[in-house]
Structure 1
Amino acid sequence: MSPPPGLRGDPPVRKPFSLFVPILAGATLRDRAIACIGALIGICATGLLSSFVFGSDPVLPFIVAPIGASAVLLFAVPASPLAQPWSIIGGNTISALVGIAVGQFVSDPMLAIGLAVALAIAAMSLTRCLHPPGGAAALTAVIGGPAVAAAGYGFAFVPVCLNSAVLVALGLFFHRFSSHSYPHVPAVAPANTHGTGDLPPPVRVGFRAEDIEGALADLGETFDIDPQDLDRLLRRIELRSLLRTQTDFSCADIMSRDVISVGTIADAEEACSLLLSHGVRTLPVIDSSGRLAGTVGLRELARRTGPVEDLMTRAVISTPTAPAVSLMEKLADGTSHSVVIVDEDRRILGLVTQTDLLSAIPRMLARQPEET
C-alpha cells in the first residue's frame, strides 16, 4: 500500500483561492461574533476612558492606532501568547520607548523607521512580551509628528501604556462572560499523585514534551501556540481518534451492575467496613432520594471519623451509552479508580473500575478494523 499524499514528499496541493482561506484553527462564527462585540466595547470604552485623562486637549491623540490591532488579538484569539496582558501592555509600551529613542538619535527617517521596528522586536523578545502591534507603536513614535516628538518618552506611558492597560482591563472583564478564559492559562502537565519518581500514567506511553520541542526544532517554524497547549491538543486528538475507531463497546456492556453503595448519613466506620468486606476501592454515596451524591474511598476514610457526607468527594460519572474507551482518560488520571454510571436523574446504574476496562481492552483490540 502506497503512503498517502504528503508522506511521499509530494508538494502540497493548492486549492483554488486557497490564499483567501484563513489558516487559524478552531475559529467559529460564534467566536468571531464574540470578537466583534468585544472589540466594539473594548475600543469605545478605551477611547472614552482615555479621553477623560486628556480632557479636550488635542495635542496628543487620546487613543493610538496600535490599540486597534491589540484589540484584534485580545478579542479574536485570547489564547494566543501574543495576546496576553504582559504582551499587550509591555509590548506596546516598550516598543514605543524604543521608537522614541531611535527617533531622537537617528535623523534619517528611512533608517529610523526600520531601526525602530527591528529594535522593538528585539526588545520585546528579550522581555518576553512579543506583540505584533508593538511594531506599529514603535513606528508611530518615530513618525507621529511634532506632538509625539514634543511629548518625548512620556508618549510611551500616556497614551500608549494607558490605552494598553485600559484595554487589557476591559478584556479581563469581558472574557469573564465569554466562552474563553483570559488570561490564558496553559494546560497543566499531568503529575504523579503517588509521590514517586515515575512519570504519571497518561504520559508514560507515546510522545513526550521533548518530542514536541524536537519536532518544533525540526520544522524550524514559530507557531502561535504554547507548547503545553500543543501537548494537550495532540493528546486530545489521540483520544478522539480512539473514540472514533472503538465504538463497539459501551459503558453498559462492561459495567458492574450490583453496585455496593453507602448512604450519606452512614459513619466512616461503616463505610470502611463495606470497602474491606467487598474488596473494593470506592463506594458511591447516595442521598435520601436515592441519587448519587459523591464517592468515598480509603483515602478519604483513613484516620477520619464522622458521617460519610462530610468525607465524600465529587463523583466521576458517565452514561451507559458512552463508549467504554471514553473512560480511559478518567481512569488514568492517577486519582480515580472507578466511574459511576448514572441515568438522567443521577440514579446509579452501574460502576466501571480500572479492572473492568482493562478486561475489555483485548476484546476491543480484537474487533479493531484492519487498515486498508
Structure 2
Amino acid sequence: MPSFRFLRTAADLRPAAMPGRRACMDWLRLFFPQPVGITWHERVRMVLGTGLGIALVAVLAHQLETSLPTPWMVASIGASAVLVIAVPASPLAQPWAVLAGSAVSFLTGIACASWIGDVVLACGMAVGLAVAAMLALRCLHPPGGALALFAVLHPPEATLPAAGPLLLNVSVLVLAAIVYNHLTGRSYPHGQKAAAAAAPAGGSAFTSADVDAALAHYNDVLDISRADLEGLLHLAGRAAFQRTLGELRCSDIMSAPVHAVVPGTALADAWTLMRRQAVKALPVIGPRRDVVGIITVADFMRLANLDTHEGVGERLRKLILGRSRQPDQVASLMSIPAQQVQAGQPLMDLVPLFSEAGHHHFPVVDEQGQLAGIITQTDLVRALARAVAPR
C-alpha cells in the first residue's frame, strides 16, 4: 500500500512539472535566431555597402598614417558601417548619432583614463558615462561604447589629437552611407518625426496620441523611428482589416430579395410599401429589372416643402393622396441616375462611398445588370462590427 501511494504521488507530480518544462524550453528558444525577413537583393546591398564603405574610409585614413602619431583607424568604425548601411532607418544609425555619439564617447573615455587611476573602475565608468552623455545629447550610438572603452585600454594612442582622425573616419563613412543608400533606394538620413508617417486613406483605428501612450508604457529604446513604427502599425491594421473584410463581397451582406417599384407606380403605393416593409428606400426598376432610379423617404420629405406653414403630416398626406398639385408618380420623384454596385464588388469599395459621398442606400445588380438586392449603411456597419469584434 505505501508503494502504491508513492506511485500515485509520482504520477500526480509529472503533469504538474510539465508547465515548468515547457516554460524552460520556451526560454531556451529565445537564444535561437529568428528568420531575417529580407530578400537576397537586400542582403547583397548590405554586404557591398559595408565593404565599400570601410574600404573607402581605410584608403583615405591610411594616407594620414605617416603624418599623424595616432591610430589611423579604429575597430568601432566597422560596427558603425553595419548600422548606417544595414539599418539606415534606425535612430541609432542617423548622422547625428554617429558623429556626436562617437565624439562624446571618445572624449568621455579619455577623461576617465586621465582622472581615474584604477583601470578596471575606469572601464566601467567610461562606458556608463558615455551612454549617459549620448542619451542626454540624443545621439545614442552603440559603437560609442567601444570607443570609450578603447580610450581607457589604450591611453597612449587615445589622446585629444586622435579625435581628429577619428572624426574624419566617421565623417567619411557617413558621407559614403548617404551616397550609397541614395543610389540603392534607401532613405538616409531617415526622418524620425511622427509626422512623416502618413495615415492610410479612410482613417485609422488609432491616433498619434495612442502611439505615444503605448511607447510610454513600453518604456524601452526601440531600434526603429517613431514615424516608421506608426507607419507599420497603420499597415498592420490595414492588413488585418483587409483580411477580415477584404474577402467580403456586396452579395455577402446585401438584403435580398429587395422590394422595388416601377416608374409608373403611384406615390401613395410607394409610400405604403415603404411603411409596411419598414424601409427608407425603394429601387426603381425597368422592364428588364435594370435599376433606373431610386426613391427614398428623403425625396418625399423634400417634395413636401417642409418650410411652408403646413405641418409635415398634412403636406405628406396631400402629396401621397394626390390632393397636391405636385406629380403623383414615382418617375417624377425618383433620383436619376441611381448609384449602384455590383454583387461581386469588394465590400471595401463601399466604405468611401458611404463615408464621403453621402450615400445611404446602394442597389446591387448582378452580372446581367438586374436588381439583386440592396445595401444600406446599417448593413455595412453590421459587417464592420463583426470584423472588429468577431464572435
TM range (shorter): 0.5 to 0.7
1:43 aligns with 2:42: no
Q: Does the aligned pair in 2 maintain the 1:249–1:364 contact within 8 Å?
A: no
1:138 aligns with 2:148: yes
Deviations 1:296-353 (A, max 9, x none): xxxxxxxxxxxxxxxxxxxxxxxxx995637969999x9x99xxxxxxxxxxxxxxxx
Question: Superposition RMSD on alpha carbons, in Å?
Answer: 3.9
Deviations 1:209-260 (A, max 9, x none): 3322322333333222223322221111110111122234679x9xxxxxxx
1:70 aligns with 2:80: yes
- C-alpha deviation, 1:14, in angstroms: 1.9
* TM-score normalised per structure 1: 0.59
Flag the 1:19–1:29 CA change in 2: closer, same or farther, 3 A: farther
Read off the aligned partner of 1:242 and give its amino acid letter.
F
Secondary structure of the structure 1 residue equivalent to 2:31: helix
Flag the 1:18–1:330 CA change in 2: closer, same or farther, 3 A: farther
- C-alpha deviation, 1:208, in angstroms: 2.5
1:79 aligns with 2:86: no
Secondary structure of the structure 2 residue equivalent to 1:31: helix
Q: Does the aligned pair in 1 maintain the 2:89–2:190 contact within 8 Å?
A: yes
Distance, in Å, in 2 between the alignment partners of 1:369 and 1:108 is 61
- Greater displacement, 238-247 / 40-49: 238-247
Distance, in Å, in 2 between the alignment partners of 1:370 and 1:249 is 16
Distance, in Å, in 2 between the alignment partners of 1:369 and 1:124 is 43
Please name the residue that 2:275 is paired with: none
Please name the residue that 2:118 is paired with: 108
Flag the 1:210–1:94 CA change in 2: closer, same or farther, 3 A: same
Deviations 1:119-160 (A, max 9, x none): 111111111100000001111112124233xxx22222x222
Deviations 1:179-215 (A, max 9, x none): 32111114526799xxxxxxx9725xx3233322322
Distance, in Å, in 2 between the alignment partners of 1:135 and 1:330 is 56
Flag the 1:366–1:202 CA change in 2: closer, same or farther, 3 A: closer
Secondary structure of the structure 2 residue equivalent to 1:245: helix
Please name the residue that 2:221 is paired with: 222
Flag the 1:231–1:163 CA change in 2: closer, same or farther, 3 A: same
Read off the aligned partner of 1:67 and give its amino acid letter.
I
Distance, in Å, in 1 between the alignment partners of 2:206 and 2:389 is 24
- C-alpha deviation, 1:363, in angstroms: 8.0
Structure number with the higher helix fraction is: 2
Give the total of aligned pairs. Answer: 260
Aligned ranges 1:251-270 → 2 under 5 Å: none
Q: Does the aligned pair in 2 maintain the 1:99–1:141 contact within 8 Å?
A: yes
Flag the 1:97–1:322 CA change in 2: closer, same or farther, 3 A: farther
Distance, in Å, in 2 between the alignment partners of 1:239 and 1:100 is 51
Secondary structure of the structure 2 residue equivalent to 1:147: coil
Q: Does the aligned pair in 1 maintain the 2:110–2:155 contact within 8 Å?
A: no
Read off the aligned partner of 2:134 and give its amino acid letter.
M
Gaps of 5+ in 2: 1-21, 253-343, 359-374
Flag the 1:366–1:170 CA change in 2: closer, same or farther, 3 A: closer
Secondary structure of the structure 2 residue equivalent to 1:75: helix
Distance, in Å, in 1 between the alignment partners of 2:244 and 2:145 is 47
Aligned counterpart in structure 2 of residue 32 of structure 1, from 43, 56, 65: 43
Flag the 1:120–1:250 CA change in 2: closer, same or farther, 3 A: same
Please name the residue that 2:184 is paired with: 178
- C-alpha deviation, 1:62, in angstroms: 1.6
Gaps of 5+ in 1: 1-9, 193-199, 254-320, 338-355
Secondary structure of the structure 2 residue equivalent to 1:19: coil
1:163 aligns with 2:169: yes
Identical-residue share of aligned pairs (%)? 37
